[in-house]
Each structure stands twice: as C-alpha cells, then as structure tokens.
Structure 1
C-alpha cells in the first residue's frame, strides 16, 4: 500500500480571497488557489497574486490531487496539474512530489498522459543550447544531452489551466512550441519553449498505472461515467462513453463522429459519415490475449475502423482493411488488424528504432526490413477512441517486417501532420482470433482469408497460383471493358466478403465522409496514434 506523505508543510492565506493555500515542498515556487483560482507566486514567507487560472475542463482523468503511489522504490503524492491544449486536443501533466530521503530533499517529477498511456519524467539542466524549433522536423534526428533522439511530435501548445502546487510559475494563455523526442533506449524527452531564453528539458519513461501502486484515484465506476452522457448534436440520441479516456465517440443511431474531448456541457463538434459495414467481432466482445507472450489478459473491443490506402496511380491496386481497438484497464490500448494478408496484433511503442528512415531498422535487437511506403486513410469508424477522430486526415506510413521461420513480427511508423508514431506487433492466425474471442466455428471462413491460417503448403501454393490467374484475367477484363473496379475482391473473396463490401462502399462514397487516421498501419496494422499527449 503506497502512503506518500511529505515531511513538512507550509501554509499561508490567499491574498485574493483569504482561503488557505498549502505547500508540501519548500522547492515549490507557485500554487493555484483552489477557491478563487488565483495564480500565486511564493516570495519568501508571503504569497503574491500574479494572475488567474482558467477553470479546468472536465476530462475524466483517473488521476487527481492527493493520489499517491510508488515509482522506482520511492513514494510520491500528486500535488499539482497543468492542463495543456493545442489545435488537435490536449493533455494533462501532473506534478508529483517524492518523499525526502536520507541523502536528498523532496524531488519533483511529472506524470504525463501520453497517447492513452502514461510517462513519468524529471526535469534536468540542458548543458547545451536548445535547437531552434523551426529547424526541427517530425521523424528527424537530433543530438541532445549526449544522446540521439528522433523527433516524435511538434505542437504549438498553450497552458490552458493549472491546479495545485507547481515547481514554476505557470505562463497562462501563452502559446509556445512543445517538442516530443524518443530514443532507442525507450526514453521520452520533452523540450518546451515557454521561456525561449531557457527552454525546459525533461526525460522519462513510459509506465503502467498498475505498476505505480496508486491509491486515491478518482472513482471510475459506471455512475461517474454516466454523468458524461450527452445528446448527439445531429440526431439527439444519447451518447454514453464507457471509457474515461474517450475523446471521440460514434453515435449508435446516426453514425455521426462526435468530438467529446471538451467534456459534458461543452459545444460538441460532429460530422456525419457514410454507412459502413458491421465488424466481424462485435463491439463489447471480450477475449483473452497475450500481446507479446506471457500471461493472457482480458481485452475488450471498444472501437472499429475501416481503412484504405491511396494508390499513386490508376494502375495501382487499392487495398482495404479493418482495425479493432482493444482496451485493458491496466495495460491501455492495442489493435487487432484484419487485412488481405492475415491478422496482426500490435500496439504503440514508447521509444524509436535505430536507423530510422533507412531500408533496415533495428528494434529489440532485430533487423526489420522495409516493405511498403504508402498513404493511408480511415473511411469508417464505430465505437469509442482515445484520440480525436478527424475528417479527411491522411497519414504517411512506412512498414517493416522481421521473419524467423514461421514467426512474423511487424514494425511501422505513421506520420500524421507533425507527429510520428511507431508501433510493433506480430502476425496471428485466424484460428487464434476465433479462440481469443470465442467466436462461433461457422465464422471461420470469413475470418481465414489469409494464406497463413493453417493451410498445408500444397494447398497454399495451389491457391496462390489460382489467385494470380484470377487477378491476371480480371486485370485484362478491366482494361478491355471497364468492369467494376471491385471485381478483384468479389472474385477472390466472394460477394459477401468484407473486402468487396468495403470496396463498394468506398467507390460509392467518392471520398465524401472520410475520417482521419488512427495511427500507424501495416497493410492495415495500426499504431493507434492521435494527439501528442
């Protein structure tokens, strides 16, 4: 049981309203009054008002002031929060204070929400000039603090609101660049330019909330989430998110995509989308999966996406695939992906591979060879998502693979705007997918379209030859008489197949109603992307 309690507290009255303001650390320079939201600067034994913080918007984070935990053997307590905002969303940075030890005073750190997961980081002096943010590019390399970093995201952010005890006076309503960087050691670094003369530098690692032994979290019961229910702005049907981290939700009545990142009571942005297909694994289905070996854990399907690539010329074939967003309360999010080549199970990674941008990149001491580069787009979504699903957003994807006998691992980078996300996973057989989710056996023909789903080598070779023959014949027919461009999917997978139906819907849609990217892909394998934090 974690019980973090600072050794000494200092208290004074707010100079604006007279309410008590408490400091747990002598090192803290600022606080925000919980009664009048005055931003207070600590000056010796007195407090001086230097501004007023905006009201925090309700984002349903599981964390709150007073929550306690342990990290690397030391106890900490959550004492403050910064609520950051940028054009595509926002994130929280929680100020955590570690207990003093025999050899050092209380230490400040940050617990930041990052793409559906969490990162603990610590500020450090940067003993060299910080780079000009205008010279940085997503995916580019930068040497800092003796290490090579890959630029993961570049955003112009604003400190929208602050709460509690803080190590620095907050610079409210000031827009400044925030740069996220990753390295091959799995570390995450941040450069923030709120003070251009002395940019802030912090370094940390991803953590699982379950490993922090947290106590005092916000009530995540169904009763709390029901208060987040709101009407669809298009049809009025009730939207009731099941996850506290949901940023976008699809209306079950009219299939509109609704941005709920601002919380209940805010004006909701929404748009309609074309009708799509029904997922083979229904939303809400729960299965036992082991992502990278180890003990299987319970994962629930909370979202569904249909995606396609954008061919560079009319002679190139277009590919369609489907992705299932999976959620585990303690593990976060992962993706199960259904493509023409088979199924894969993947999730975002914290760091970045070495030799990024070359034909061969290294991750976990394995050499992944480049296979495809293409532009991907989401055409239809259902369920809930931890990022803001955007319309007409495209992503540049680079896919890599590593093989060892029958084992296939996948690695992918996806760039959307000024953000690059890497993801890693493995191929799985259709029979595994059926077992994961206890699907009916008669569903196997629809699941097992891939050539690696248990066929013997003779059957596999024969089917490949037949498929090539069919494609050649179809191509000749298409050129001769301009038949339906989706006939390739109809002939290969059947008229009722997901590929054929998805192709027909996309052709009818003519690009209208497309929505944004989910993250990274490997012929449909997703990294889960979304916002910077």
Structure 2
C-alpha cells in the first residue's frame, strides 16, 4: 500500500482565515485553502491571497484529494484538481505528485481517464496552430497527430495544490490531438510559449488506488432542490456530472449545467414516448470491453436517434442507445439497432485511415456509411448538454474477416471528434445481463423475419408493442411514418392498420431499399 505521508512538506497558515495550508511539492506555486476557498500564492516563506475561487462542480468521480496509487511502478498522490469549463460542459484535471518529485495529470477523457505529463518542446508549433480544424493531420515535434478538438476553455474552479497559477477569468484555446499509438497531446495558450502535455489512456482499477470516495456517485444539490422549469416536478440528478436531465413527468429536457448558479434553467419540451426495453436505473453485469471480464453497469440515460437520408431514395434507419455508467470505468453505450445489439466505448487514440478502410488495435475495418444522425427523444441523465434535434456527422466501419463483429465509429459534433470502438452482442446476452424475463425475448430480437403466419399470444402482443415503438420513432424522423410498416407487414395487416389509425393517414411510400446508414455505433453527444 502507498504511504500517504510525504517525505517533506511546506506548511503555512492561510492569510485570510488562518487555516493550515500544506504544499507537498516545493515546485507548486499556489494552493486553494480548503476552508475559505482563497487562492494563495507562495511569496517566499509567506502566502499571499489573490482572490477566492468558485465552488467545485461536484461530479460523479470516485477520485478525491489524497487518493494514492501507482503508475508504471511509481507511487503518486492526488494533491490538487483544476476543473475546466467550456461550452459543452466541464472536466477535471487531477494534479498527481509522484514520490520522485515528478508532477503528472490524471485527466478525464470522454468518460475515461488519461495520465499525462508535460513535455519539452523540440520544435516550434505550426503557424496558426490554434486555428486548425478537427480531423486535420498535423506534424508536431516531428510526429504525426490528428486534431480531435479545439475549444475555448478556462479554469472554473480548483482545490488543493496546483503546479501552475490558473487564470480563473480568461478563457484560452485548448487543442487536443491524438495519434495511432493511443497517445493524447494537449496544447493550450494560457502561457507563452504554449505548454504541451502527452498522455495515454489508463483504467482506474489498474492504478492500485487507495482512498477513493466511498459510496454511490449521487449528486449533491442545494437544499432548495431543482424543479422542472416546465411543470415544477422536483428533479433529482443521480450523477453529479450530469449536464442534462429529462423530467420524469412532462419529459422536458432540462439543462442543469447552471443548477448552482441561481439562474433560470433552460429546457425544451418533447413528446412523450414509450419506456425503453431496459428499465432506467437497472444494473447489469456486462463485459463492455470484450476482455472476458464483466463489470456492473447501470442504465442512467436513454436516447432515440435516426439518420437523415440525403435523398428520398435512401432508406432511413433509427436506433436506440442506453448510456451505461460504472463508477471506476466511466461510461459505455449499449446500442439497439435494426441489425442487432452492440456495446461501444469511446477510445483515446485514432485509427489509421486510408480511403475506405481503417486499422485500429490490430483489426482492419471497412467503411460502411457516412451520415448525419439526429437525436429525437431522451430520458434519464447525460454528461453532455442535450439539445433539441441534436445532430452529429457519423461514419461507421465494420471489422473484416474473423473480426466481423467488431465495430468502429467516427462522430463529429461542432469542433470535436470522438472515435468509439465496440462489438456486436447477442440479444440473449443483454437480457441475461440486465435480468430481462424470457417472455420479452421477441422484443429484443432484431434479426427475426416479418413474414410467415403466427398466432397472437404473449409474443404476438410483444410484436405489436415493437411495431408501435417503431412507428413512434419513425414519426419523429419522417413525415410518412407508416410506409415501411405497410411494406414490411402488408396493407391488410394489423400492424399497418394500427399505424394508420395512430398517424391519421393511409400510409404512402417511404423510400427505396438502397443506401441508408449502418446506424448506432456512436458515443452520444459532444463531450470531454
């Protein structure tokens, strides 16, 4: 076990409230008083107060100050945190101090974590480096990188001991790049010359951490609570990092990113929908990494999405995504698409792409479709801001040869690109993982043919429910929602009659059979 006692420390009293403040590194220029939130600069042997920082946005992370662990065999302790804010939300940068005096940063990255260290510049940055576009390939320090995101971000809040003096008022350009070796390069212009940090993805269980936050990750909210601005129903976020939550009563999507600022909450109303096949809040034991080891994942969010065909001749598809959460492993997505189920997670690096192929971690993929995806309905909580009819540009890839169940997705939202990797899984595996009764198996199957004769019973009514779900989702994506049901089941079928009755129309053509999107490997919205 790592000894949390430092070999040496510098202690003083806060110049504002008199509380003890400790510096574990002789190189740390500032700290935040844990009692009065004063920002304190070291000035010789005294502390000088330069202001007061905002309260931290309490999030889902099991990390906290004092957590100790090992990385590449070296002991470290988390001694500080800088909480970064940009238009799409917030993320944490944890200051890790190693026993050998080295400083590192354990950063959040799309629901996962990256361990990064400052790197000296070996060459000048490309001209206009801060104005590159996501997806652009650049050479920095004689190495190839791909731009993943460009954002204006600032230090929103901080605690503990930091290795730099943050500017809490001014936003700076933060450029994030990735390479095919799984590395992440971060550059920001908060200082001159810009600082560079290089890191790799890490799994918290591999860091042998001790002193983690105990208990569930339930959000802490002010005693006044949060009310839906549309209907007044009390809202109770379960994840502190959630930036959007759907009201359980009126289904309005509420932006809670400013819930502690005293300002009115933004929202938009959406139509009521049917409950997802997997109940919200249900926990299932699932191997989300394909490693052969299962973890407990809780369903915290659900969204329905569809593609936007480029022409009326293209087939439109829809799919549903369940946002899963595990306290140490972060987030994953369970996708229910027309061709089956899959589980995907955002990845740190970028694949090597050429023409219509991509290579990632020894697997070769071929491109299937590029399409615009639109989110049409959500319930639950999300760690990004959900916007009405939120759109992303997606490209789907599928593994070749013996890796036919492997999947890869590139998703772009604004100035950020996220790659996700996953694999197809059987519906029976999903049902077993989340304790779904066998009587509902028909609703989970996606490869069953629609023809043939069958009699009503429990499975028959399940199929009717499935058709109704299909109709509702298509109604949000298409103005002629019954055409496909008619083409599949026939104009005299009960399914088509129910669809026509619900939609108040007599059907109509819904497009041909060519093209369309693969649909459903994506990782949700734009988020750090």
TM range (shorter): 0.7 to 0.9
The correspondence for 1:417, drawn from 414, 418, 433, is: 414
The correspondence for 2:483, drawn from 483, 487, 492, is: 487
SS of equivalent residue, structure 2 residue 352:
coil
Matched, 1:139 2:135: yes
Structure 2, unmatched stretches of 5+, are: 451-478, 505-516
Give the CA deviation at 1:151: 0.9
Q: Cα–Cα, structure 1 residues 74 and 388, in superposed 2: closer, same or farther, change >3 Å?
A: same
* Match in the other structure for 2:325: 327
* Match in the other structure for 2:233: 237
* Match in the other structure for 1:73: 73
Q: Is contact 1:233–1:270 with CA below 8 Å preserved after alignment?
A: yes
Give the CA deviation at 1:485: 4.6
Aligned length: 481
Matched, 1:250 2:246: yes
The correspondence for 1:348, drawn from 346, 349, 361, is: 346
Q: Cα–Cα, structure 1 residues 314 and 407, in superposed 2: closer, same or farther, change >3 Å?
A: closer
* Match in the other structure for 1:129: 124
More displaced, 171-180 or 404-413? 404-413
Query: 2: CA distance between counterparts of 1:141 and 1:30?
Result: 36
Matched, 1:395 2:392: yes
Q: Cα–Cα, structure 1 residues 70 and 339, in superposed 2: closer, same or farther, change >3 Å?
A: same
Equivalent residues in 2 for 1:8-19 (5 A)? 8-19=8-19
Alignment deviations for residues 314-352 of structure 1 (CA, whole Å, 9 cap, x no partner): 232221111112222332221121122222221111111
Q: Is contact 1:429–1:452 with CA below 8 Å preserved after alignment?
A: no
Query: 1: CA distance between counterparts of 2:108 and 2:337?
Result: 31
Equivalent residues in 2 for 1:252-401 (5 A)? 252-264=248-260, 266-267=262-263, 268-291=265-288, 292-355=290-353, 358-401=355-398
Alignment RMSD (CA, Å): 3.1
Query: 2: CA distance between counterparts of 1:297 and 1:270?
Result: 34
* Match in the other structure for 1:476: none
Q: Is contact 2:398–2:404 with CA below 8 Å preserved after alignment?
A: no
Alignment deviations for residues 236-275 of structure 1 (CA, whole Å, 9 cap, x no partner): 2222223343222211111111222345564332221122
Q: Is contact 1:56–1:161 with CA below 8 Å preserved after alignment?
A: yes
Give the CA deviation at 1:414: 0.3
Q: Is contact 2:79–2:160 with CA below 8 Å preserved after alignment?
A: yes
Q: Is contact 2:32–2:39 with CA below 8 Å preserved after alignment?
A: yes
The correspondence for 1:119, drawn from 114, 118, 136, is: 114
Q: Is contact 1:63–1:217 with CA below 8 Å preserved after alignment?
A: yes
Equivalent residues in 2 for 1:98-113 (5 A)? 98-100=98-100, 106-113=101-108
Give the CA deviation at 1:452: 10
Alignment deviations for residues 345-375 of structure 1 (CA, whole Å, 9 cap, x no partner): 211111110126x311111122211110110
Query: 2: CA distance between counterparts of 1:206 and 1:500?
Result: 49
SS of equivalent residue, structure 2 residue 84:
strand
Query: 1: CA distance between counterparts of 2:311 and 2:218?
Result: 52
Give the CA deviation at 1:62: 2.9
* Match in the other structure for 1:473: none
Q: Cα–Cα, structure 1 residues 392 and 124, in superposed 2: closer, same or farther, change >3 Å?
A: same
Matched, 1:39 2:39: yes
Equivalent residues in 2 for 1:389-468 (5 A)? 389-405=386-402, 407-450=404-447
Q: Cα–Cα, structure 1 residues 403 and 32, in superposed 2: closer, same or farther, change >3 Å?
A: same
Give the CA deviation at 1:107: 1.1
